[in-house]
Amino acid sequence: MAAVIASLAGAFAAVSLFSFVVATQVSDLAQNTPVYQINILTKVRALKENGLSGGEDVVRILIQLCFSRAKSEGVSYPPASSRPTF
């Protein structure tokens, strides 16, 4: 009987912890939504200013914008040889 209670308590604790982590992530996402919206709008405006219509050019420009923004924020990336190619 004690094993059943311990198992149920462990399962409840695991579900509770998982729920807490998910709730925290959703809360952070909700708080940062305006920032994400501004980033997307900035990228769309940059694409419109460049007048790009080709799909490959759009993807290339978006990747460049993301990398340049990340570099300006101090994010470092692994060497190009270890990154996947598209």
pLDDT tens string 64-80: 777 777 777 766 655 55
Give the separation between CA 67 and CA 78, rounded to whole angstroms.
12
- 56-59: long-range contacts, CB 8 A cutoff, minimum separation 24: 59/86
At 1, the amino acid letter reads: M
At 75, the amino acid letter reads: V
Pick the closest to residue 66 from 42, 37, 34, 32 (CA basis).
42
Angle at 45 between CA 42 and CA 51, to 5 degrees: 145
Q: How much is the average pLDDT of 44-61? A: 70
pLDDT at 86: 47
pTM of the model: 0.46
Q: Where are the beta strands (DSSP E) in 1-86?
A: none
pLDDT tens string 36-49: 888 888 887 877 77
pLDDT at 60: 74
Q: What residues does each domain of the chain span?
A: 2-77
Q: Residue 7: is its pLDDT beyond 80?
A: yes
